[in-house]
Structure 1
Amino acid sequence: MSTKKVVVIGAGVAGLTTALLLSKKPGYKIVVAAKHMPGDYDIEYASPWAGANYMPVSIGGTEAAKWDKDTWYPLADLAKNHPEAGVHFQECEIHSRAKDKGSATANWFAELLSPNPWFSKVVPNLLVKVQVAPKVVPAPRHGLGHGFHFISQCLGNGVIFKRAVYNHILDAAADCSVQLGGKADLIVNCTGLMASKLGGVEDKSVYPARGQIVIVRNDAGGKMLDVSGTDDGDDEACYVMTRAAGGGTILGGSYQVNNWESQPDPNLAIRIMKRAVRMCPQLTNGKGIGSLDIIRHAVGLRPVRQGGTRIEKERIGGLWVVHNYGAGGAGYQSSYGCAQAAVDLVEEACGTRSML
């Protein structure tokens, strides 16, 4: 069987996970081509800004739920057996307020807050408390080093990384010919939000959901806290989570649809900090937001797609293209499931998939 040459466009969590899983298959030469790489901070690059927790909001019986389920097991393995991956277990409490019923946030959290969510058979130690809400223990959380772990694993499997910017998706096939030893046989599109602008794709169902956070040095007691809504509008949220490997404590947040603004809103930042300190007094020992030791204010754009994540294959200009983008706020928690589904399509298109 001849070696198949593949370009993966995008080095966010979708692109890196897809490249990693494909690199474990025999008969592929892979280049990851991307404008942004782990270690970069840019509004176009969603993965570094993500809370990156495992907290499924997918509806049971859907493809999205399967992708979330299929991701739990490799993440749990990393947390248990590979601490260098930057994934750790963290106790998580989600509180549901009666007055949030019917709100956009509460509807989004519907499965998460149900008495018997589908993931109760997957996540260990799930406890539902009446009038308190689900308490999920443990839940994998990703740290800043997770992207570098992906790159290390990919490099070990022979994957090549290349900085590149493309106006049209087919430009990648010829551009990576030197690294591949010939023109690409297939392209995997993991461009996230940029799928809305990339020539040959231009998916107008992709849009941003702006998230703003405050990262502080204050200790939240190693626990994640979340609540079903706020008193400041449907597009604001309240959560506190601890990043792995000394990455600080995240205070969030917001979910502002079709908002491309890259700069932090100072008034929103104040509301975020006030809500966090009210929900988790341990942050400042009751001293208020003036005692928060701020590392940075940050903004990220979730790559949301109307209709959900796109995992499909199609021919563009005679070349097979496999799409894996549009996971929105579920990029990390569905990463391995989505990547495996994309790899299956790559094998189908290349005629290398085993039917065993």
Structure 2
Amino acid sequence: MDISRIVVLGAGVSGLTTALLLSKNPSNKITVTAKHMPGDYDIEYCSPWAGANYFPVGAEDSAVGKWERETWPYLQDLAQNFPEAGIQFQDTVVYNRLKDKESITGRWFAELTKPEPWYRSVVPNVPKYELKDSIDSANRFTSVCINTAVYLPWLVGQCRKNGVEFKRAIFTHVTDAADSHMSGKRADIVINCTGLSSRTLGGVWDSTLSPARGQIVVVQNDPGNMQTISGTDDADDEITYLMARASGGGTILGGSLQKNNWDPLPDPNLAIRIMKRCVELCPNLVEKGQGIEGLNIIRHSVGLRPLRHDGPRVEKEKINEVLVVHNYGHGGYGYQTSYGCATDVMRIVELVLQHNEKAKL
């Protein structure tokens, strides 16, 4: 059996999912190398800060829509059959206000809030008479919420079962990662899953990447279901959502989509607005008659989504004679496109390796 040496650069949800799918082929010998690993909390490391959930935002005929469609069966299977992965089903309501249509968050949620979305086979509309006067339409469906503090280590465990090796390293140039394979030999392929760091990573230098700052409040209170709305009256780049993580992960209250904002520290004024909006959207989050004083706060958090102007980059490139396959720039939908993107990476890798084998003949 011919052995293929593969280095996955980056240990966020994209890197770990890619490593997991590639490791199902026993001829692939994989090393995941990264500055940050699950268990770390650093502003450079986006995945632990995510909600995370499944809110389809890609157009039906877009690459993002395809990746979201391909990812759902995996998340559904994990929620049904692998409770140790930290994923649970949640009844979800998405509210839409027409006045949010041209806002930053309204455009972000344009597909999610359509009255007849492409994911309608699992989404019955909420009848109009159930809605407040300020709401124009809504969708109700079953989604999932992911406890990232459980799920990311679970991915590591699944990778380790398949023989994937992990090591910490920092590289200034993407091609340097080719020399980090645990075998001591040069890797055949490097998979670049460095997220926002691809902006400054040598050989990539993707200037179309920018941060989309997200701020959340984690509380003990249980909302009963997952909810979001298309926009707010507070700011164009603020949004309201709440979801309860599995396995004691608390409830996430969000949020914001602040483009080109690198601030890693929670804004206390934004935190108050987030909590007020969430209580207004979901009054049963607190006891009757209470406001935000009824919230039991666990912590405040900030993450920087890796937003890319043209959307996620999933393609191959030869850099200084090193074959690199990119998988980065997933913005705020890294988890819900993770298996779809990783599947495309796997297909690219298979084609490249087949081509290399034929070239040897």
TM-score normalized by the length of structure 2? 0.93
Gaps of 5+ in 2: 129-134
2:125 maps to: 127
1:113 and 1:218 map into 2 onto residues whose CA distance is 26
2:355 and 2:64 map into 1 onto residues whose CA distance is 25
1:327 maps to: 330
1:41 and 1:77 map into 2 onto residues whose CA distance is 28
Structure 1 residue corresponding to 2:172, chosen from 148, 154, 167: 167
1:292 maps to: 295
Q: Is the 8 A contact 2:188 2:323 kept in 1?
A: yes
Structure 1 residue corresponding to 2:198, chosen from 179, 195, 209: 195
1:1-356 map, 5 Å? 1-121=1-121, 124-130=122-128, 133-143=137-147, 144-176=149-181, 179-221=182-224, 223-285=225-287, 286-351=289-354
Gaps of 5+ in 1: none
1:83 and 1:126 map into 2 onto residues whose CA distance is 26
1:187 and 1:256 map into 2 onto residues whose CA distance is 31
Shift of 1:230: 0.5
C-alpha distance after superposition, 1:133-184 (max 9, x if no partner): 33332101111211011011100000000011111111111133xx124111
Of 275-284 and 193-202, the range deviating more from structure 2: 275-284
Q: Is the 8 A contact 2:14 2:338 kept in 1?
A: yes
Q: Is the 8 A contact 1:344 1:353 kept in 2?
A: no
C-alpha distance after superposition, 1:27-86 (max 9, x if no partner): 111000011111110101111111111010100111111100000001100001111111
Structure 2 counterpart of 1:290, which letter? E
Shift of 1:346: 1.1
Of 230-239 and 278-287, the range deviating more from structure 2: 278-287
Aligned length, in residue pairs: 349
Of 180-189 and 205-214, the range deviating more from structure 2: 180-189
Q: Is the 8 A contact 1:23 1:154 kept in 2?
A: yes
Q: Is the 8 A contact 2:115 2:125 kept in 1?
A: no
2:98 and 2:20 map into 1 onto residues whose CA distance is 43
2:131 maps to: none
> SS at 2:332's partner residue?
helix
Structure 2 counterpart of 1:273, which letter? M
Percent of pairs with identical residues: 54
When the two chains are superposed, the root-mean-square deviation of aligned CA atoms in Å is 1.5
Shift of 1:108: 2.0
2:227 and 2:195 map into 1 onto residues whose CA distance is 28
2:80 and 2:356 map into 1 onto residues whose CA distance is 31
TM-score normalized by the length of structure 1? 0.95
1:132 and 1:89 map into 2 onto residues whose CA distance is 26
Shift of 1:327: 0.7
1:72 and 1:98 map into 2 onto residues whose CA distance is 28
2:113 and 2:213 map into 1 onto residues whose CA distance is 23
Given the superposition, is the C-alpha separation of residues 353 and 67 from structure 1 closer, same or farther in structure 2, using an over 3 Å criterion? Answer: farther
2:290 and 2:126 map into 1 onto residues whose CA distance is 31
Structure 2 counterpart of 1:279, which letter? L
